[in-house]
């Protein structure tokens, strides 16, 4: 398989409602899509970088630049026997995992489409549908939060995740628990908004029987997470701190987490995501699939990943309608709290031409 060219396509997708986290508020998504064209066919990948470097050091313009100047040219003279070669060829470039992930995914999608094989089969999925949770952003008031959670419960989501930050943690969690009871699967996500000095405040969350607290401390503070886990009973789940199978193994060995959130873009792609899954499974550590407000392209691949055996907790693989009035693919629709795993070739979905044209803001073709 030889890569003959890559299209970089920018699209703008308004969100159905503002999504606020501890690092900012999003009202729309500026998204970079990749279409890899090879001598055996083409495939799609989605780069999950945000417009600004607030979730990680990566950002959209930087990802487009590194793809254009370094990553794509590095594959120009490579005769690929498969997408598994992409990451090794690009390993001399430091960081930029989200950009690498998008390129690898597009090449892998092209490869699997040509072979008539699905993403789910390639990754090792064992289920044909996956349970879905939903992430609820920070709200202006507790009544607004309760109304939002009620809507998601009514839609059938099997798990609720609340975004938290200092000053918006114990009170909203208590309100949701009191309103919806102990049977609701409930977890919180701090997006690294706290420090170890907040341990006493975070320990107040223990009384609510949460599934986990996600990334309470800065991503570099692995030892701090290990220390915090000794001070609280709520299981710590790492997100931003996990960037590879190696970092996952180290965090588990140090006792910094009991659960791992796997986001393929954050770790450099779905093949590395599968390695992290395998490391965690060997250690008896459950994993779940995180989300970055993906379109149907990224969502399809995430759902396939979430069907692997070690993904025992509901992920953030919400329906398309959670974020977008109209997706760029056929929409993913919640069915009894679950989403079906695509079983077609490659990621199993393709963009709808008219919808894609409607949201496209620019295209760039890089040919060899």
Q: Catalytic site residues?
A: 163, 263
**Which one-letter DSSP state was computed for residue 346?**
B
Asked if residue 361 lies in contact with residue 11, where contact means CB atoms within 8 angstroms, the answer is yes
CA angle 308, 310, 313 (to 5 degrees): 100
> Which residues contact residue 281 at a Cβ distance below 8 angstroms, ignoring those fewer than 6 apart?
287, 309, 310
Residue 65, Cα to own-chain centre: how many angstroms? 22
Token pair 């706290």 is found at 194
To which H or E segment does residue 123 belong?
A: helix 119-123
- Cα 112 to Cα 49: distance, rounded to the nearest angstrom: 25
Q: Provide the Cα torsion 251, 254, 257, 260; round to 10°.
A: 30
To 10 degrees, what angle do helices 245-253 and 270-283 make? 20
- Taking alpha carbons only, the member of 303, 271, 308 closest to residue 97 is 271
Residue 191, Cα to own-chain centre: how many angstroms? 13
Asked if residue 67 lies in contact with residue 98, where contact means CB atoms within 8 angstroms, the answer is no
- For 350-357, the CB contacts below 8 A with 24+ separation are 350/44, 351/33, 351/44, 351/296, 351/297, 352/328, 355/326, 355/327, 355/328, 356/9, 356/11, 356/328
Phi, psi of 260 (to 5 degrees): -130, 135
As given in the structure block, the two tokens for residue 93 are 């470039």
Asked if residue 188 lies in contact with residue 201, where contact means CB atoms within 8 angstroms, the answer is no
């Amino acid at each position: 398989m030889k890569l003959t060219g890559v299209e970089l396509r920018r699209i703008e997708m308004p969100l159905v409602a503002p999504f606020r986290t501890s690092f900012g508020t999003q009202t729309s998504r500026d998204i970079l899509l990749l279409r890899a064209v090879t001598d055996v066919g083409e495939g799609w990948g989605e780069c999950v970088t945000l417009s600004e470097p607030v979730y990680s050091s990566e950002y959209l313009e930087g990802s487009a630049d590194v793809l254009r100047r370094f990553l794509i040219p590095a594959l120009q003279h490579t005769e690929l026997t498969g997408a598994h070669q992409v990451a090794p060829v690009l390993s001399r470039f430091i960081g930029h995992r989200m950009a690498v992930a998008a390129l690898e995914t597009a090449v892998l999608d092209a490869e699997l489409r040509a072979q008539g094989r699905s993403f789910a089969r390639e990754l090792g999925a064992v289920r044909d549908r996956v349970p879905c949770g939903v992430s609820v952003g920070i709200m202006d008031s507790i009544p607004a939060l309760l109304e939002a959670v009620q809507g998601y419960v009514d839609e059938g989501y099997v798990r609720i995740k609340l975004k938290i930050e200092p000053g918006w943690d114990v009170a909203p969690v208590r309100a949701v628990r009191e309103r919806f009871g102990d049977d609701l699967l409930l977890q919180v996500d701090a997006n690294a908004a706290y420090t170890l000095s907040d341990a006493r405040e975070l320990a107040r969350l223990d009384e609510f029987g949460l599934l986990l607290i996600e990334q309470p401390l800065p991503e570099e503070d692995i030892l701090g997470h290990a220390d915090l886990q000794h001070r609280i009973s709520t299981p710590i789940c790492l997100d931003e701190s996990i960037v590879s199978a190696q970092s996952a193994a180290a965090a588990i060995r140090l006792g910094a987490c009991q659960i791992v959130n796997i986001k393929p873009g954050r770790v450099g792609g779905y093949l590395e995501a599968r390695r992290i899954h395998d490391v965690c499974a060997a250690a008896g550590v459950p994993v779940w699939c995180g989300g970055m407000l993906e379109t149907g392209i990224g969502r399809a691949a995430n759902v396939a990943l979430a069907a692997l055996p070690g993904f025992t907790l509901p992920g953030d693989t919400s329906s398309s309608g959670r974020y977008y009035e109209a997706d760029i693919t056929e929409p993913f629709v919640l069915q009894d709290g679950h989403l079906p795993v695509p079983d077609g070739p490659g990621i199993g979905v393709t963009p709808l031409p008219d919808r894609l044209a409607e949201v496209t803001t620019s295209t760039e073709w890089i040919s060899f």
